[in-house]
Amino acid sequence: MNPQRPSLLPAPARVDVVDAFIEAGETQGYFNRVQTETRWQEREIVMFGKRVMQPRLVAWQGDPGKSYRYSGVTWQPDPWGGAVAEIRERLQEHLGIRFNSVLLNLYRNGNDCMGWHRDDEPELGSEPCIASVSLGAVRKFRFRKMGDHRQKAELELGSGSLLVMSGRTQELWQHALPRMLRVTEPRINLTFRVIL
Ligand SMILES: O=C(O)CCC(=O)C(=O)O
Ligand SMILES: [Mn+2]
């Protein structure tokens, strides 16, 4: 995939980026449709023993029965939204992978974020391929190596971009979406996954 550009992370991890997976003329339409078609939820999570609101809105869509444990909560998927289903078809054409679920995040502004984590839940299997499509505000995205946080990488994810994490990325690296307080516009991110 995308042989012009080498993987952002060294093997056996693998990260590929396509800047305009969704063309510029289509991104605003997709953003609006995904925003309105999705049942967004504001969730409470427990952090360091305290109950706090997650700093973003979230939703989960997928094939029936593909439930998913995330932050200690078991989610039953909502049905595929129209725009999200179209993006899933495009990903199948591009990657040859039929994703059966997607986690949706709505970052209302630069104050919303996602902390360091790995997408390494057992239901994703070993060496999962996770396809992340971004719409809206440009945000930084960071990686750091497990066991040696001095090894790191950073990139900007613009509207319409596709980031694909595969190989042993989830085992060896964490990723995060940091706060960017000067960002005032919202961003939607869709991480498509195959749940076994
Ligand atoms: O918003 C992003 O780009 C990252 C989302 C993410 O890492 C996740 O949903 O697991
Ligand atoms: Mn993640």
CA of 10 from ligand 2 middle (Å) equals 19
Contact assessment for residue 145 and residue 125, using Cβ atoms and an 8 Å cutoff: no
pLDDT for 73 equals: 73
Provide the pLDDT for residue 56.
Answer: 97
CATH code where residue 104 lies:
2.60.120.590
Query: Cis ω on the peptide bond leading into residue 12 (within 30° of 0)?
Result: yes
Residue whose CB lies within 8 A of the most ligand 1 atoms, among 189, 190, 193, 195, for a mutation test: 189
Q: Number of folded domains in the chain? A: 1
Residue 69 lies in a domain: yes
Would you say the pTM of this structure is higher than 0.85?
Answer: yes
Residues 81-96 have a mean pLDDT of 98
Written as six digits, the tokens of 20 are 């305009």
Containing 119, the helix (H) or strand (E) segment is none
- 135 within domain boundaries: yes
**Phi then psi for 30, rounded to 5 degrees?**
-65, -45
Residue 1 has pLDDT above 60, yes or no: no
Mean pLDDT of the chain: 95
Report residues near ion ligand 2: CB below 5 Å: 119
Q: Is residue 3 part of a domain?
A: no
The Cα–Cα gap between 31 and 186 comes to: 10
* Residue 74 neighbours by CB distance under 10 Å: 8
Segment 122-172, tens digit of pLDDT: 999 999 999 999 999 999 999 999 999 999 999 999 999 999 999 999 999
- List 172's β-bridge partners, or say none: none
Asked if residue 75 is part of any domain, the answer here is: yes
